[in-house]
Structure 1
Amino acid sequence: MLDPVTSASIGGVNVRLQTVLHQRGIAPESLAVVCEVDPKTVGRWLGGRVPHPRHRRRVAHHLRVEERFLWPPVVDERAAPTNVELVATYHNRAEVPRETWLSLLGNATEQIDVLVFSGTFFAQSNPRVAHTLIERARQGARIRMCFGNPGSRAVIDRGSEEGLGPDTLAAKIRASLTYYRPLLSADRCEVRLHGTTLYNSLFRYDDTLLVNPHIWGQPASANPVFQLRRVNDVGWFDNYAESFDAIWADAQPWIPD
């Protein structure tokens, strides 16, 4: 039985643990060696599982941080709000640790939804992204990838607003889509193209959602990211999830040239 502590991001990934690893330049595998556990166990810790007390002490010592920082004590639920959805905020997309993206992707078991124009970074951060998505689908997750239609008015306007050439964003979308060709023949995987004015890029992994708002005239990479966890069916999370579903319903299946 675990002690009554909770990870630094309830119901989602342990953002603090992942951030410290990223800042220290320490591979998660090293924690498995230090704690004498399987690397998959460390993956579960990164995904929000709380380690045994002796492992918490070893991890904190190895990372040179306080144990309570990585796994704060539980707050009295009677005094705490029950609908707090905001888990973490990032000044820009580059500040989201790569391990956070990889852990969320690798730990999703039910649903992965991605809504972007080009989403080039999503594949560049993990060149085996298609393989990972297909593996998640084989384990039962539903995969929905929604990219901008290169020929749509929305893509042309967005490129113009960012000061890009007339076909630059469209070319980026076409290049990004090449990573996802294997999904077209995989069960439980779909790729569609939308022509919607995109106010946010969305990345959903089960009950965790990363929202990347779009600021006019700036690339999405320069804009903030905030991480939500689903706590009920009337909060921010579901509002964004419903917006994805609405765009997805009107999007067209991607048929490569």
Structure 2
Amino acid sequence: MPNERLRDALLRNGLDLDQVAKAIGVDPKTVERWITTGRTPYPRHRHAIAAMVRETENYLWPDAVAPERVAEIGGSEVVKVYPHRHSVPQDLWSRLLEQAAEHIEVLMYSGMFLTDNPTLIRTLRPKAQAGAKVRILVGDPASREVARRSEEEGIGKTTLAAKVRNALAFYRPLDGEPGVEIRCHRTTLYNSIYRFDDEMLVNTHVYGFMAAHAPVLHLRRLSGGDLFETYSESFDSVWNTASPPRW
């Protein structure tokens, strides 16, 4: 079976067979077989290619790493666990945002705490203009999922929807900006996800608690691990079902 993930990763990074082959010291036909027949390269070649295309080894070759090793690496992807979102240092949020150059992805219902930063729009716009891919997912304020979550947090059925509308008004100046996409989702969120290149903050959702009082995982992507990749794929799944806002 062809390795479409590897094919896509090479294309996205502008790499052809000859370039890859020369970089890792193999014949171009060998690289072609890795793509067209799904053959698995030796570990040293997997590491080199993963670094070249800035993807994890486990993403490109899901079956190449032993489950025990994947679990071990996954544990190392956890940088720190915070008991509550409000206990995450503000300078960590600032550092992650300032250093992000390729991917800024946010999945939440409203995330009103982000809008407390008056410079956020002025930070996101130039990053998108410089080539970063900015994707923002907020809840659909008219959805039953938002209403249900609002009730579960104990703040009333309509409160969260109002927060979502405020968040959409905040992000609206970015609408139509090249490199920025904003969508509304109607999913039941088990986690809010904040990705900044190869680092991520995952805010778990706990029944009966507002997100600010729920735990946060700080993750850093490692080749061969799949914890970071799991949440990244979850983001994509929600993104693919979401729609543009009804401004």
Using the size of structure 2 for normalisation, the TM-score is: 0.69
Distance 1:207 1:109 in 2: 10
* Corresponding residue of 1:70: none
How well do the aligned residues superpose, as a CA RMSD in angstroms?
1.2
Distance 2:233 2:223 in 1: 14
Please tell me whether residue 160 in structure 1 is matched to residue 151 in structure 2.
yes
Percent of pairs with identical residues? 45
Aligned-partner SS, 2:113: helix
* Corresponding residue of 1:89: 81
What's the offset of the Cα at 1:200? 0.2
Structure number with the higher helix fraction is 2
What's the offset of the Cα at 1:166? 2.1
* Corresponding residue of 1:189: 180
What's the offset of the Cα at 1:136? 1.0
What's the offset of the Cα at 1:174? 0.5
Residues 200 and 219, structure 2, Cα contact 8 Å, conserved in 1: yes
Measured against aligned partners, the alpha-carbon deviations of 1:72-124 in whole angstroms (never above 9, x if no partner) come to xxxxxxxxx65510001111111111111111111101000000001000111
Gap runs ≥5 in structure 2: 1-71
Please tell me whether residue 147 in structure 1 is matched to residue 138 in structure 2.
yes
**1:223 aligned partner, one-letter code:** A
* Corresponding residue of 1:209: 200
What's the offset of the Cα at 1:234? 4.5
**1:119 aligned partner, one-letter code:** G
Please tell me whether residue 223 in structure 1 is matched to residue 223 in structure 2.
no
What's the offset of the Cα at 1:128? 1.7
Distance 1:174 1:129 in 2: 17
Measured against aligned partners, the alpha-carbon deviations of 1:227-253 in whole angstroms (never above 9, x if no partner) come to 001102551100000000000000001
1:2-21 maps to which residues of 2 (within 5 A)? none
Please tell me whether residue 109 in structure 1 is matched to residue 97 in structure 2.
no
Residues 208 and 229, structure 1, Cα contact 8 Å, conserved in 2: yes
More deviation in 82-91 or 154-163?
Answer: 82-91
* Corresponding residue of 1:255: 246
Aligned-partner SS, 1:254: coil
**1:140 aligned partner, one-letter code:** G
Gap runs ≥5 in structure 1: 1-80
Residues 106 and 136, structure 1, Cα contact 8 Å, conserved in 2: no
Residues 73 and 224, structure 2, Cα contact 8 Å, conserved in 1: no
Aligned-partner SS, 2:156: coil
Distance 1:85 1:135 in 2: 29
Distance 2:73 2:154 in 1: 43
What's the offset of the Cα at 1:189? 0.1
Distance 1:100 1:210 in 2: 10
**2:149 aligned partner, one-letter code:** R
Q: 1:233 to 1:194 in 2, by over 3 A?
A: farther
Greater than 4 Å deviation, 4+ residue runs: none
Higher relative contact order (CA 8 A, sep 6+): 2
* Corresponding residue of 1:136: 127
Aligned partner (choices 169, 172, 177) of residue 163 of structure 2: 172
Q: 1:161 to 1:232 in 2, by over 3 A?
A: same
Measured against aligned partners, the alpha-carbon deviations of 1:201-247 in whole angstroms (never above 9, x if no partner) come to 00000000100000001100000111001102551100000000000
What's the offset of the Cα at 1:167? 1.1
What's the offset of the Cα at 1:155? 0.4
